[in-house]
């Protein structure tokens, strides 16, 4: 449990002070519990044996303060005071628990923001080899930490304060009865804890894993629905979704069962206690004279103590349930923060580079983590403003790695990368502000044409005239104007309403909308038919002189009109020059 609270203290971050304030509020609410229950005993005594209170200093002061003379009249006022205190106590606890829930919700949002900022600062290499579902899983972990880690931890503190206060009061009334109650409850809860401690932790890991797997299987079906339906294998994938849903449902159900069990344990313990105390009083000479008041106080205390003990057991179970997800979340954040601390300021805000003039790679090498083979080896190349450059080579030659280095996504293991004579590493944001990346598989979000052209831009910064101008430059305006709702037309999930060529033109429109000066096309025509490819090649030709274009391609026809061609083999530039020279050399 100490490891869990260590993780909580770390994950709370700036919310630690607010958590301390919550504890102070809980302490105040528990004092109301103590006052209310503490007044029950004299109230019962004054009703059953009023003469016992005569001469008691506090009782006489109460009568003088209220102006009453008889014990009976004072008892009525005492009863009213108890009622008021219990109403105030109930309201205070209601407000406090609502605050705790809101606190947990706010912290969940904070955790999502914290993860998002750290992922944004993480280098591109961090994501290589990591499934996107791992990111989804961390978001699930953040939710589990808030709902079944943080909130239960605060409730434990709340209920523990109340329980200690009530038990302390009961110890003054009848310490022997308290010892008996503690022995019964302790024995039963110890058995419960021994039986389900490990299972609660395992269930948390199983649920996080099952939820992540459900996301994976759902994505598989959504992404390959056409192929699955034609192949007739769709039922198998939906069966996998059913299996993961079954795992999620049964795991959650078992966790709820474990959470509910303490309620029955505590109820059984209290019944055992009452019967045992009553039996002892019956068998003890004179014991029945005090049993009514004792059981009355313990009954009032039990009305508050039973829910507290039940909540303590439930919340301890919840914390164990969230133990593995919380530990994984903490480990992820520690890793990301260490990476962020080790990065230079070049990935943050940097001064503008001005209009693009020149990009230079000098003796650039690159190796992926864990690989002994260099993906790039001593590359030297220069690209001038307005030039169109083609990069060709067989699969595995290093083309994609070169593009990632050019974009600043990967930092060279050796050598330098400069734009306008300044280091890209020290001016990464400024360099990225000059570049547009057009991939082979253009990602369209499930939104309007406007949303997809102005991808990620705040609504207040989206000017329709600017969007139309970008579409016109990408030769897509006529098509969008023919759509029923124009810019407001939904492109469908994954851009299903747009052809491959139209998606490529949306990517071009994005580049024009954001006014980028360098266009990087990474196999942008590989999945297009020859006619559509010819249209995109024509667009590349049209951009020459106005934009700097870097084209990665398998098809030689895509780079036929480029000014300069580079051919890569095993991470080296083995040939450069005009299209005719490089292709003739390769064929020769």
Which of 248-257, 402-411, 481-490 has the weakest average pLDDT? 248-257
The CATH number of the domain covering residues in 358-587: 3.40.50.300
- Which residues make up the CATH 3.40.50.300 domain(s) of the chain? 358-587
pLDDT of 460 > 70? The answer is yes
Angle, helices 71-121/151-173, rounded to nearest 10 degrees = 160
pLDDT of residue 529: 66
The better pLDDT of the pair 66, 441 is held by 441
- 418 backbone dihedrals φ, ψ, rounded to 5°: -130, 145
pLDDT of 585 > 60? The answer is yes
The CATH number of the domain covering residues in 2-342: 1.20.1560.10
- Other beta carbons less than 10 A from residue 198's beta carbon: 10
Tell me if residue 332 falls in helix, strand or coil: helix
- Which residues make up the CATH 1.20.1560.10 domain(s) of the chain? 2-342
- 383 backbone dihedrals φ, ψ, rounded to 5°: -125, 125
pTM of the model: 0.67
Which of 112-116, 317-321, 376-380, 422-426 has the weakest average pLDDT? 317-321
Q: Enumerate the H helices of 366-499 as residue ranges.
A: 399-406, 428-432, 449-453, 464-473, 477-482
Cα end-to-end span (Å), the chain: 71
Report d(CA 252, CA 207) in Å as an integer. 7
Cβ contact 519:547 at 8 Å = yes
pLDDT in tens, 10-36: 777 777 777 777 777 766 666 666 666
| CA-based radius of gyration for the chain | 35
pLDDT of residue 468: 93
Report d(CA 333, CA 124) in Å as an integer. 16
pLDDT in tens, 318-367: 777 777 778 888 888 888 888 877 665 444 555 678 888 999 999 999 98
Q: CA neighbours within 13 Å on the CB side: how many for 448? A: 14
Cβ contact 491:447 at 8 Å = yes
The pLDDT of 287-311, averaged and rounded, is 65
Cβ contact 428:384 at 8 Å = no
Report d(CA 223, CA 215) in Å as an integer. 12
Q: Confidence band (pLDDT; 50, 70, 90) for 55?
A: low
What element of type H or E holds 414?
strand 414-419
Highest mean pLDDT among 128-142, 297-311, 436-450, 467-481: 467-481
Report d(CA 497, CA 486) in Å as an integer. 13
pLDDT of residue 107: 82
What proportion of the chain, given as a percentage, has pLDDT over 90?
Answer: 4
The pLDDT of 123-134, averaged and rounded, is 73
CA distances (Å), 51 to each of 3, 178, 510, in order? 55, 27, 89
The pLDDT of 422-433, averaged and rounded, is 86
pLDDT of 112 > 90? The answer is no
The long-range contacts involving 430-435, CB below 8 angstroms and separated by at least 24 positions, are: 430/350, 430/351, 430/352, 430/353, 431/353, 432/407, 432/408, 433/352, 433/353, 433/516, 434/353, 434/356, 434/516, 434/517, 434/518, 435/407, 435/516, 435/517, 435/518, 435/519, 435/520
Cβ contact 356:420 at 8 Å = yes
């Amino acid at each position: 449990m100490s490891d869990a609270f260590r993780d909580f203290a770390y994950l709370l971050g700036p919310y630690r002070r607010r958590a301390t304030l919550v504890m102070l509020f809980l302490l105040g609410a528990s004092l109301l519990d103590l006052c209310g229950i503490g007044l029950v005993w004299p109230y019962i005594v004054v009703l059953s044996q009023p003469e016992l209170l005569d001469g008691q200093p506090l009782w006489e002061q109460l009568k003088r303060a209220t102006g009453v003379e008889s014990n009976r009249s004072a008892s009525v006022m005492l009863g009213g005071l108890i009622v008021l205190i219990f109403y105030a106590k109930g309201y205070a606890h209601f407000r406090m628990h609502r605050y705790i829930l809101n606190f947990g919700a706010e912290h969940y949002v904070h955790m999502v923001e914290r993860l998002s900022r750290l992922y944004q600062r993480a280098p591109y290499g961090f994501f290589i080899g990591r499934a996107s579902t791992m990111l989804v899983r961390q978001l699930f972990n953040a939710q589990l930490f808030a709902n079944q880690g943080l909130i239960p931890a605060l409730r434990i503190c709340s209920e523990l304060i109340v329980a200690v206060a009530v038990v302390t009061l009961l110890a003054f009334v009848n310490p022997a009865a308290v010892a008996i109650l503690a022995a019964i409850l302790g024995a039963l809860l110890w058995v419960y804890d021994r039986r389900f401690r490990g299972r609660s932790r395992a269930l948390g890991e199983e649920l996080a894993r099952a939820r992540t797997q459900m996301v994976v299987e759902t994505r598989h079906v959504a992404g390959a629905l056409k192929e699955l339906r034609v192949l007739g294998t769709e039922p198998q994938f939906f069966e996998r979704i059913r299996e993961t849903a079954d795992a999620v449902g049964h795991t959650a159900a078992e966790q709820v069962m474990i959470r509910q069990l303490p309620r029955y344990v505590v109820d059984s313990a209290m019944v055992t206690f009452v019967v045992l105390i009553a039996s002892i009083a019956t068998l003890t000479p004179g014991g029945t004279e005090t049993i009514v008041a004792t059981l009355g106080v313990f009954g009032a205390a039990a009305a508050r103590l039973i829910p507290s003990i039940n909540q303590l057991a439930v919340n301890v179970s919840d914390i164990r349930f969230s133990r593995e997800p919380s530990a994984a979340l903490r480990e992820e954040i520690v890793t990301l923060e260490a990476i962020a601390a080790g990065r230079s300021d070049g990935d943050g805000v940097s001064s503008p580079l001005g209009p693009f003039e020149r990009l230079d790679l000098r003796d650039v090498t690159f190796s992926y983590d864990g690989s002994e083979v260099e993906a790039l080896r001593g590359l030297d190349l220069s690209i001038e403003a307005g030039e169109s450059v083609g990069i060709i080579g067989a699969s595995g030659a290093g083309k994609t790695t070169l593009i990632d280095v050019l974009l600043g996504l990967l930092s060279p293991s050796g050598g330098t990368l400069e734009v306008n004579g300044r280091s890209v590493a020290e001016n990464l944001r400024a360099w990225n502000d000059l570049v547009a990346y057009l991939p082979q598989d253009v990602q369209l979000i499930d939104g309007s044409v406007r949303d997809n052209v102005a991808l990620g831009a705040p609504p207040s910064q989206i000017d329709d005239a600017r969007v139309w101008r970008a579409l016109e430059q990408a030769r897509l305006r006529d098509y969008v104007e023919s759509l029923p709702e124009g810019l407001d037309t939904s492109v469908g999930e994954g851009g299903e309403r747009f052809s491959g060529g139209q998606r490529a033109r949306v990517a071009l429109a994005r580049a024009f909308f954001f006014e980028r000066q360098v266009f990087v096309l990474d196999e942008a025509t590989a999945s297009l038919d020859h006619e559509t490819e010819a249209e995109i090649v024509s667009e590349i030709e049209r951009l020459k002189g106005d934009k700097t274009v870097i084209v990665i391609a398998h098809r030689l026809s895509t780079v036929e009109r480029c000014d300069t061609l580079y051919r890569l083999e095993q991470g080296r530039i083995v040939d450069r020059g005009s299209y005719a020279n490089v292709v003739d050399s390769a064929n020769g």
